[in-house]
A and B are shown apart, each in its own frame.
Chain A
Amino acid sequence: MASSDILLSVRDLRIAFHGVEAVRGVSFDVRPREVLALVGESGAGKSLTARALLGMAPRGATVNGEIRLDGSPDLAAARGRRISLVPQDALSALSPVHPVGDQLAAAVRSVHRVSRREARARAVAALDRVGIPDAARRARAHPHEYSGGMRQRAVIAMATLNEPDLVVADEPTTALDAERREQVLRVLSEQREAVGAALLLVTHDLDVVRDHADRVLVMYAGRTSELGPTHTVLGQPRAPYTAGLLASLPQDGPRRRRLPTLPGTPPAPGELPPGCAFAPRCPLATDHCRSEEPETRELDGRLVACHHPDRIPDDTATLFEEEQPA
């Protein structure tokens, strides 16, 4: 792969709090204009990883490893110009005391040396692009005068305003109903395509991943579980964890079949079991799994971290059929 094919490269990313690693050596690339999904249960380290890409790791976090955007490690300088963020819970993501247009204009003026008037004009144009009607007037309004859908669009407008190369969206659709979810994802992908940016989509919703992502990185307990093209990974998972996540989704088919479930809960950082972190919940776990943590390796067109990727049956759901109490 030529280096020009790689927009962002992450190598052995580790994020620790007081010496306890929450992200434990994650490596991946983002290619220009692609959509990479980052999935996993709560606490898998998805959001932390996403923040680190923007140089916005939370206070008290120690970040190690290498993150390069087009070969440059200066993430703070790239923030807003080349990488931008759509935060979680877009409904509360705008300042309640500033008119929406002013917030967008502040982003323009922090990145480009333009006049106040020019910044305003660009802000209004961006609001217009995401489909906010009567944008010139609405730019003067405060967020609480916007409907929920309009606020979400304004947030996306602010994140794509300076035509970044990479948009990081952190759980942009969590807690939204089906209709809103589709709307947000549609506006996001329209804007992304309009400015030619790649998208890193952090989510725990595998349906969203299936419909919107080119490639997917499945994270478990701060590590890569599986990484590859979406149809390859979700079509025929090779990591038991991916298989379990897929199996627990309600499927079309005979109704009221008991759903296969992943027993237990993910381990907290600092309370990891020896060996593979997923072993206590894995029906395929062997003594080998319980003593040695698997490295990622290439298999069937994806990277997978498992000692026994070949033991996963074709009908992955059967692996998790027997439910155990929580």
Chain B
Amino acid sequence: MRFTAAGFTRAVSLLAVVATVGLLPWLSGRDPALTVLRARSAEQEPTQEALDAVRRDLGLDAGPLSLLGSWAAGLVRGDLGTSWVSGTDVLPSVTAGLQVSLALMGAALGVAVLLAVVLVAPVLVRGRASAGAGAAMLAAVPEFLLATVGLLVCGVWLGWLPTSGWQGPASMVLPAVALGVPAGGLLGRLVADALPAVLEERWVELWRGAGVSRARISAAALRRVLPPLVPQFGMAAVGLTGGAVAVETVFAVPGIGRTALGAAKSQDLPLLQGSVLALLLLGLVAGALAALVRRRLLGPALRDASLALPPPRPVRTHPAIPLTLAAVLLTTIGWGLLRDPYAVNTAARLASPSWAHPLGTDGLGRDVLARLGHGAAATVGTAAAVCLFSLILSLALGFLPGVAAGAADIANALPPVIVGILVAAAAGPGTGGAALAVGAISWPPLSAHAAALVQEVRASAFLTAQRAIGAPPSWILTRHVLPSVAAPVARHALLRLPGIALALASLGFLGLGAQPPAPEWGLLLDESRAYVERAPWAALAPAIALALLAGLAVSGAAYAQGRRGTVSATARKETPVGVV
């Protein structure tokens, strides 16, 4: 029953996403005819006849269903349509971009695996208890931040490596590192954090007691850890497709991600449809590959056996660390809030930090500290709203695990950036759209956690004892099930807040979220890139704020899990949403 429900919702969700892509020209609401006309010939007057001709040409006058039909028919024939802007076929642009992106992702995967090995080795060789906070930090840093910092340090200041374009292996280094490091941090952390608990399983005791060598036990433990983690590796690969958009944009790599973003910004909807479809396909293929690898690893005999990993022990950092990070962030934000973020002072453009402007000024002479403080409201406030929405949705879905699982599969295959592109293309870029995009896909880990807790509570003996005293279902639900589920899931949601804020910032950075002159953190970082050589302070301030936020996410995690109680293994089936 559960499988059919999951299968059904999975199919429906997938169809809904594809239909959304197909209907983009209609959904976008704005008149694309004007865009196209402008793009095709700048001189032509936008007369009614000219616009009508364009509309007929594009098939926009036939209504949404016929539009979807002809798009789907073209899709089946392998025809992705013609670019509105260049008038050329979409398919060649998409395949060219895809080739570049696949090469980049391949290199990034190499970096990721290398980093993961480095993180896992100390756990296996020296018996460390986890990969530590460093790995968690690496996993939490978003690609756009890493890319910007990499560009700044290696490319601009040190001049070691090319920082833009796609010529030769040297130009691949920085993008591959920026894309690969967060993924590698995630992979390494997943394996390294699962290993210590696995090494305390009974069988290790038996093997040690029977004289099996340490090397053999380490190999066996790795083999034990991998199958349950493979689906999360798949999700990390999906994260790469999202991260590619940011990294390609920063380093001007002509890949599919940059193509998609460019198409979204220039309203070139056929090209956008084609490239988003390609990115979706990449995500789905990654997920399917992960499922295949898992089946291969498990072998026919084990497929039905439960191999849930024991819950990992949380990384305990000193309580002073999250408190200090929070204090620094709050002080900065509070101070900034007292100042005016919009006051333009052309006399004091790109000023260095001083008493008047503690963090300097930006290209328009606006106070960076003020913009940082007011940006927190936009970034963190929106993230809190998204978090609350995810929490409520996942609590409701926790009671319908079958329905939720299918939709979650699709949501997991969608990085926030791609949803953000779709939403921005349909509704125009804005804070609301970015929140919608992140909200639409940030609920699956929470609902999986809620579903696991509901199942756990329902199976518990104390719930049976409730029925035995004659308690009605409403009593059991409100006194026992909901309190057992809501509190841990709420803590989990709180824990994801910084990650969600980083996802929103990445959309802002790509111009898909808040619009100028709003002081959103991602947007601040993007704007400062233009004058980073002359005013590094203006770029560093939002970068450091975002890094502090990531650090807070990591160090606070251990304390968000509560004193005691059942933290199910499913609670950690999560990819940080910040990895886009």
Residues of A participating in the B interface, judged by any CB pair closer than 8 Å: 54, 56, 59, 79-81, 83-89, 92-98, 103, 106-107, 109-111, 141-142, 144-145, 155, 158-159, 161-162, 168
Residue of B nearest to A140 (CB): B301
- Known A79-B211, A80-B212, A97-B224; judge A92-B302 contact (CB<8 A): no
With an 8 A cutoff between CB atoms, is B220 at the interface?
yes
Residue of B nearest to A141 (CB): B301
Bound-state Cα–Cα, A168 to B210, Å = 11
Taken residue by residue from 420 to 434, chain B's Cβ proximity to chain A (1 for < 8 Å, 0 otherwise) reads as 000000000000000
Contacts of B220 in A (CB 8 A): 95, 97-98, 106
Bound-state Cα–Cα, A161 to B212, Å = 12
With an 8 A cutoff between CB atoms, is B31 at the interface?
no
Residue of B nearest to A112 (CB): B211
Q: Is the interface of B mostly helix, strand, loop or mixed?
A: helix
Contact B305 A110 (CB under 8 A): no
Contact B208 A79 (CB under 8 A): yes
Contacts of A155 in B (CB 8 A): 206
Contacts of A145 in B (CB 8 A): 301
With an 8 A cutoff between CB atoms, is B216 at the interface?
yes
Residue of B nearest to A98 (CB): B220
A160 to chain B, nearest CB (A): 9
Contact A158 B307 (CB under 8 A): no
Contact A159 B210 (CB under 8 A): yes
Contacts of B202 in A (CB 8 A): 87-89, 92-93
Using a Cβ–Cβ cut-off of 8 Å, how many residues does chain B contribute to the interface with A?
Answer: 24
- Cβ-neighbour of B207 out of A92, A106, A162 (below 8 A): A106
With an 8 A cutoff between CB atoms, is B223 at the interface?
yes
Bound-state Cα–Cα, A85 to B276, Å = 57
Residues of B participating in the A interface, judged by any CB pair closer than 8 Å: 127, 201-203, 205-213, 216, 220, 223-224, 227, 298-299, 301-302, 305, 307
- Cβ-neighbour of B301 out of A79, A92, A142 (below 8 A): A142
Contact A94 B210 (CB under 8 A): no
Contacts of A103 in B (CB 8 A): 203, 207
Contact B209 A87 (CB under 8 A): yes
Bound-state Cα–Cα, A216 to B305, Å = 41
- Cβ-neighbour of B211 out of A84, A92, A93 (below 8 A): A84
Contacts of B208 in A (CB 8 A): 54, 56, 79-80, 85
Bound-state Cα–Cα, A97 to B229, Å = 14
Contact A96 B307 (CB under 8 A): yes
Contact A80 B209 (CB under 8 A): yes
Contact B205 A56 (CB under 8 A): yes
Residue of B nearest to A81 (CB): B211
Contact A158 B302 (CB under 8 A): no
CB<8 Å pairs between A and B, sample of 27: A54-B208, A79-B208, A80-B209, A81-B211, A84-B211, A85-B206, A86-B206, A87-B209, A89-B202, A92-B201, A92-B202, A92-B203, A93-B202, A94-B206, A95-B201, A96-B224, A97-B302, A97-B307, A98-B220, A98-B224, A107-B207, A107-B210, A110-B216, A141-B301, A142-B301, A142-B305, A161-B210
